[in-house]
Structure 1
Amino acid sequence: MKEIGANGQVDYVEFNVSDIPRAKKFYGEVFDWLFTDYGPTYTEFSDGRINGGFTTTEAITTAGGPLVIFYAKNLVETQKKLQAAGAEIVKPIFAFPGGERLHFKDPEGYILGVWTET
């Protein structure tokens, strides 16, 4: 059973998608996420730290929300995996205080980030 987090802590992230198998393939290949299917319109994912879901029951809204940023030990290798899986790099690797980051567009059109420490 998943331990419940502290009050105010991010606990779940949900993506509206048009194609759950495609989303599972993309995020499974790039980030090694694990999945639990709950019928044809919902799949839960786990990255080992946080859970979330893919659903086809709502409209896809790729702009206007917060930027979700993933962590990677090797940003260059992760960029290669992203590109091999069909992501578009929309902001190449750049430095910021404490690390480096890139932004990419996933197959649904969501703009997301990946960072690593330096």
Structure 2
Amino acid sequence: MASEKINYIEIPASNLEGTKQFFADAFGWTFEDYGPDYAAIIDAGLDGGFFRSELVAHTATGSALVVLRSVDLEASLEKVQQAGGDILQPIFSFPGGRRFHFTDPSGNEYAVWSD
């Protein structure tokens, strides 16, 4: 077993406040602010945070894709839409399950999947 494991992920956010509010509304995430330009994500699976930046994480430009797991994909899609996320790809099947892709208020791309 490797002793070096993925432990933390940092995601750019041009609209840090809007991004935090979106994830709080859509998924119930909470945050701990470390100054005006960084917010750690609290208890959302893998540890991580958002840093203020004009960069955008999008697969079209070669970015890694952050994928969230859902037990009710349709409900997750509805929560993302109600919170103001833009749906890039509606629910579709792929080997292993179904998923959809969306962007947050900073324009970063994410996916949500389920069996």
> Into which bin does the TM-score normalised by the smaller protein fall?
0.7 to 0.9
Say whether residues 1:29 and 2:58 are aligned partners: no
Say whether residues 1:49 and 2:49 are aligned partners: no
In the alignment, structure 1 segments of 5+ residues that lack a partner are: 1-5
Question: Between Structure 1 and Structure 2, how many residues are aligned?
Answer: 111
Q: Aligned-pair RMSD on alpha carbons?
A: 1.6
Moved over 4 A (4+): none
* Alignment TM-score, normalising by the size of structure 2: 0.86
Q: Where does residue 105 of structure 2 map in the other structure?
A: 107
Partner-residue secondary structure (3-state), 1:21: helix
CA distance in 1, matches of 2:47, 2:78: 24
Bigger relative contact order, structure 1 or 2 (CA pairs below 8 A, ≥6 apart) = 2
Distance change >3 Å, CA 42–CA 83, structure 1 → 2 = same
The one-letter amino acid paired with 1:35 is: F
Q: Where does residue 67 of structure 2 map in the other structure?
A: 69
Q: What does 1:82-93 correspond to in 2, within 5 Å?
A: 82-93=80-91
TM-superposed deviation, 1:87: 1.0
Partner-residue secondary structure (3-state), 2:11: strand
* Aligned residues with identical type, % of pairs: 38
In the alignment, structure 2 segments of 5+ residues that lack a partner are: none
* Alignment TM-score, normalising by the size of structure 1: 0.84
TM-superposed deviation, 1:61: 2.8
